[in-house]
């Protein structure tokens, strides 16, 4: 690839078919270097269609190539507002800044950061996709003379081919991130692997954790909608963070309830992770309520319950409306045990089926009648 034409051909043929964003960007940058372009750093940024993440991208330097992710909160900061990438994506035009000639105090902070790193010239260009979205790519040099006119021409000549190579990957990345956000990691992987037919499922042994916000009905009748949604968001965050950090997967938000699954080939690991998630969530709740008391806000409480056993994990629903979920006796058992938490005055209860596998400290509170179960079930607390 010795000319921009050669590079364009590679990008829309072999490069595009790689399906590997790091390899594409690495190949693109190496081709420019082979043409004599004095590149020091290249960043190809992609916006997510995702409520939690705002962008991802690839950074290339002569030392290596890596991927990064940007949270959605960045869009509300000065790091984004007025930045060269905001310019490229909103105006669909390129922007050049000869950093060595700038009055840095009058420019966006990113240029001062680049100058500190030795940058002399900077170029950002719009990568336009077929769905109308616009992404961006920036190129930086440390060369004392900056980029030449031929360098800039090479960037502009190849930007559409670079966009063509990156677009399929960007679309898949956004699709997968949305699936993970709305369905959980496990279902996202299964659906991504093509397991999408109604009735297609797998039987696995898993721990099922259910959480429930106490007093939700009363709160929904007396609190404003804004306050209710804020508190529910805080509550869900405590549960989801604990579940994910302990290796579980949140499958459903059911009103004020949460359904999570912990799958592992080793029952001990799955059950131990479930109990640790419950402990972590309750520790977060304690901190939340302490801050609420200090700030004169209303405190909240929630309960958790869990069971372990064989479940069916997969697609259920009608021919034109499917859901990826889990069904089985442990789901029913966890739900019914959760209903006992208030009466037994324990924030977390576990069945003996789960507690006996877990490598965590629990204490029996005796056998209790469970609706729909013939024999009393031994329950355990933290």
Residue 286 belongs to domain with CATH number? 3.30.70.1230
Are 29 and 112 members of one domain? yes
Residue 99's pLDDT is 93
What's the whole-number average pLDDT of the chain? 88
Who's near 150: CB < 8 A, 6+ residues apart?
Answer: none
Who's near 3: CB < 8 A, 6+ residues apart?
Answer: 35
Q: What is the mean pLDDT of residues 101-121?
A: 91
Chosen domain end from 151, 182, 213: 182
In a domain, 193, yes or no: no
**pLDDT top residue among 224 and 12:** 12
Total domains, the chain: 2
Read out DSSP for 207-230? EEEEEEETTHHHHHHHS-HHHHHH
Are 325 and 245 members of one domain? yes
In a domain, 191, yes or no: no
In a domain, 188, yes or no: no
Residue 264's pLDDT is 87
| pTM score over 0.85 | no
Work out the pLDDT band at 198, boundaries 50, 70, 90.
low
Residue 77's pLDDT is 63
Residue 275's pLDDT is 96
The two structure tokens encoding residue 356 = 């006996």
For 259-300, the pLDDT digits (tens) are 999 998 899 999 999 999 999 999 999 999 999 999 998 899
Residue 172's pLDDT is 82
For 68-79, the pLDDT digits (tens) are 887 766 556 667
Residue 200's pLDDT is 65
pLDDT of 104 over the 80 cut: yes
Are 207 and 171 members of one domain? no
Chosen domain end from 154, 182, 210: 182
DSSP annotation of 347 reads S
In a domain, 281, yes or no: yes
* pLDDT > 90: percent of the chain: 61
In a domain, 187, yes or no: no
Are 232 and 153 members of one domain? no
Tell me, what CATH number does 119's domain have? 3.30.450.40
For 36-90, the pLDDT digits (tens) are 999 999 999 887 665 555 678 899 999 999 998 877 665 566 677 888 988 898 9
* pLDDT > 70: percent of the chain: 90
Element (H, E) at 194: none
In a domain, 97, yes or no: yes
Chosen domain end from 150, 182, 214: 182
Residue 209's pLDDT is 97
In a domain, 115, yes or no: yes
The two structure tokens encoding residue 213 = 């916000």
Q: What is the mean pLDDT of residues 212-230?
A: 87
Are 370 and 256 members of one domain? yes
Are 223 and 354 members of one domain? yes
- Exposed/middle/buried for residue 210 (C-beta within 10 Å: 0-12, 13-18, 19+): buried
Are 143 and 11 members of one domain? yes
Listed in sequence order, the DSSP H helices in the chain are 4-10, 16-18, 21-34, 84-91, 109-116, 149-183, 185-192, 216-222, 225-245, 267-294, 329-338, 341-344, 352-355
pLDDT of 24 over the 90 cut: yes
Are 211 and 236 members of one domain? yes
In a domain, 258, yes or no: yes
Report strand pairing: 348-351 vs 302-318: parallel
- The residue range of the domain holding 96 is 4-182
Residue 74's pLDDT is 58
Could you give the angle at the alpha carbon of 219 between the alpha carbons of 214 and 224, nearest 5°?
Answer: 145
pLDDT of 374 over the 70 cut: yes
Are 287 and 224 members of one domain? yes
Are 230 and 314 members of one domain? yes
Are 170 and 274 members of one domain? no
Are 30 and 161 members of one domain? yes
Residue 204's pLDDT is 84
């Amino acid at each position: 690839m010795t000319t921009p034409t050669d590079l364009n051909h590679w990008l829309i043929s072999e490069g595009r078919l790689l399906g590997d964003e790091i390899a594409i960007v690495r190949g693109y940058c190496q081709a420019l270097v082979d043409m004599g372009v004095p590149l020091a750093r290249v960043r190809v940024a992609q916006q997510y269609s995702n409520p939690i993440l705002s962008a991802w991208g690839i950074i290339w330097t002569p030392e290596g190539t890596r991927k990064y992710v940007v949270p959605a909160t960045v869009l509300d900061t000065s790091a984004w507002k007025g930045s060269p990438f905001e310019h490229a994506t909103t105006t669909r035009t390129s922007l050049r800044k000869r950093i060595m000639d700038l009055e840095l105090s009058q420019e966006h902070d990113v240029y001062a950061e680049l100058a500190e790193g030795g940058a002399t010239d900077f170029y950002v260009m719009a990568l336009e996709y077929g769905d109308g979205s616009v992404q961006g790519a920036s190129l930086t040099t440390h060369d004392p003379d900056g980029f030449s006119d031929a360098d800039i021409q090479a960037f502009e000549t190849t930007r559409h081919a670079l966009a063509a190579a990156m677009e399929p990957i960007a679309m898949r990345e956004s699709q997968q991130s949305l699936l993970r956000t709305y369905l959980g990691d496990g279902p996202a992987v299964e659906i991504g692997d093509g397991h999408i037919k109604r009735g297609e499922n797998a039987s696995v042994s898993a721990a099922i954790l259910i959480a429930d916000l106490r007093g939700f009905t009363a709160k929904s009748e007396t609190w404003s909608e804004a306050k209710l949604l804020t508190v529910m968001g805080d509550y869900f965050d405590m549960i989801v963070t604990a579940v994910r950090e302990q290796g579980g997967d949140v499958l459903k938000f059911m009103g004020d309830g949460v359904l999570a699954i912990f799958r592992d080939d080793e029952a001990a690991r799955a059950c131990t992770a479930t109990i640790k998630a419950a402990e972590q969530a309750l520790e977060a709740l304690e901190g939340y309520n302490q801050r609420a008391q200090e700030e004169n806000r209303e405190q909240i409480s929630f309960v958790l319950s869990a069971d372990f056993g064989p479940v069916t994990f997969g697609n259920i629903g009608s021919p034109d409306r499917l859901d990826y979920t889990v069904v089985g006796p442990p789901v029913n058992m966890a739900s019914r045990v959760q209903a006992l938490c208030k009466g037994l005055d324990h924030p977390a209860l576990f069945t003996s089926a789960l507690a006996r596998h877990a490598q965590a400290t629990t204490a029996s509170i005796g056998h209790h009648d469970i609706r729909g179960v013939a024999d009393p079930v031994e329950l355990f607390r933290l």
